[in-house]
């Protein structure tokens, strides 16, 4: 299966506590998996380089998605000038995890790794799927 990850625009919000913390929300969306045994999705990411290994961010079970036919989420980051890279995988009811989706940067650009670095789901580990 091949998942296509997409990014929206950056949204800035501020929380006022003892000091002002500025965070940036990055909306991400991806193509829904059509396999009948789909259980959900796992999001991975990292800073600085688009190549694996990636760090686990969160798991999105299919039943928790607002619209399973158009899966999406929002990621909060705290450093405006840092480029973040994201990939998503799908997992099934027995825990099999797909290869990574395409790589998308926080700038909304598709990123690539040199071909000698693996980009399958085995490099990111299982984040709870």
What is the Cα–Cα distance from 5 to 71, expressed in whole angstroms?
A: 10
Domain tally, the chain = 1
CB 43 within 8 Å of CB 111: no
In which domain, by residue range, is 57 found? 5-123
Q: Does some domain include residue 117?
A: yes
Instruction: Give the CATH number, domain containing residue 55.
Output: 2.60.40.10
Position with higher pLDDT, 67 vs 122: 67
What is the Cα–Cα distance from 84 to 44, expressed in whole angstroms?
A: 10
Task: Pick the range with the lowest mean pLDDT from 1-10, 30-39, 111-120.
Answer: 1-10
Q: Does some domain include residue 64?
A: yes
Number of H helices, E strands in the chain: 0, 9
**Cα torsion for 20, 77, 128, 29, to the nearest 10°?**
130
- pLDDT tens for 48-59 read 899 999 999 999
pTM beyond 0.95, yes or no: no
């Amino acid at each position: 299966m091949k998942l296509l990850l997409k990014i929206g625009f950056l949204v800035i919000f501020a929380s006022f506590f003892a000091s002002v913390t500025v965070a940036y929300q990055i909306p991400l969306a991806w193509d829904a998996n059509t396999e009948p045994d789909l259980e959900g999705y796992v999001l991975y990411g990292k800073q600085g380089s688009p190549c694996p290994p990636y760090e686990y961010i969160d798991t999105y079970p299919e039943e928790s998605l607002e619209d399973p036919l158009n899966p999406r989420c929002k990621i909060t980051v705290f450093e405006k000038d840092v480029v973040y890279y994201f990939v998503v995988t799908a997992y099934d009811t027995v825990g099999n995890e797909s290869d990574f989706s395409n790589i998308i940067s926080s700038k909304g650009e598709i990123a690539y790794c040199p071909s000698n670095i693996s980009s399958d789901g085995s490099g990111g580990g299982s984040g709870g799927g």
